[in-house]
A and B are shown apart, each in its own frame.
Chain A
Amino acid sequence: EVQLVQSGGGLVQPGGSLRLSCAASGFTFSDYSVNWARQAPGKGLEWVSYFSPSTSDIFYADSVKGRFTISRDNAKNSMNLQMNSLRAEDTAVYYCARAPTRDAFDMWGQGTMITVSS
């Protein structure tokens, strides 16, 4: 089955770190751009980061720039989001999504909840 399977997440204290993974099943990640987006409880979607394997472009939202790092693991056919210096306002469900063309996300992972709290 073609899908994105996310792992990682949970409860972390402010200032802490966490790594999310997004594994591709049924297709090769290197053929697609990948985005991370998040959704705070009861709120709308917020884009977080973008990676293109074809151009090596990496972009971040201003809200996470310098704290989050997107990377890929070709051996595991997966993408990672390393999140450092976490803040309460980072609390959200995080989604990975693939983009066959840069402009639209045609497949989303199941989402993983990150709670930043002491």
Chain B
Amino acid sequence: SYELTQPPSVSVSPGQTASIACSGHKLGDKYNSWYQQKPGQSPVLVIYQDDKRPSGIPERFSGSNSGNTATLTISGTQTLDEADYYCQAWDSSTVIFGGGTKLTVL
């Protein structure tokens, strides 16, 4: 079965750039999305179709997807960006989520 693999945790200092990777076989051939989830809250879509930002999502969030890896990049990371992040893609008739990455801003 298809899998998406993310690092369990990423740390970044405020104002720096955070990158979260998501790897899967030929992931670049699929559309990838990213979700942000803060404790006790529902997930929020931050990137869709690899690199598009929904309205209301700050420009510091960007995405890319090529080969076997999709990457979420947060430029000028703020403390309010501390959250869990999940990548997501379709494989045939199944939706796959990555295991999630906890982003710590300190």
Contacts and interface: CB of A to CB of B under 8 A. Distances in A.
A63 B63 CA distance: 30
Given A44-B99, A44-B100, A104 B45 contact: yes
B49 interface: yes
Interface string A75-118: 00000000000000000000101000111111111110000000
A59 B93 contact: yes
Q: Give the interface size class of chain B.
A: 20 to 34
B48 A44 contact: no
Nearest to A35: B95
A104 B53 CA distance: 11
Given A45-B100, A110-B42, A104 B95 contact: no
Contacts of B7: none
B63 to A, nearest CB: 11
A105 B48 CA distance: 9
Given A45-B35, A45-B86, A95 B100 contact: no
B27 to A, nearest CB: 13
A105 B96 CA distance: 12
Contacts of B49: 101, 103-104
Nearest to B100: A44
Contacts of A107: 45
B58 interface: no
A17 to B, nearest CB: 24
30 contacts: A35-B95, A37-B97, A44-B86, A44-B97, A44-B98, A44-B99, A45-B35, A45-B37, A45-B88, A50-B95, A61-B94, A95-B43, A102-B90, A103-B31, A103-B33, A103-B48, A103-B89, A103-B90, A104-B31, A104-B33, A104-B88, A105-B35, A105-B43, A105-B88, A106-B54, A108-B42, A108-B43, A108-B44, A110-B42, A111-B42
Interface of A: 35, 37, 44-47, 50, 57, 59, 61, 95, 97, 101-111
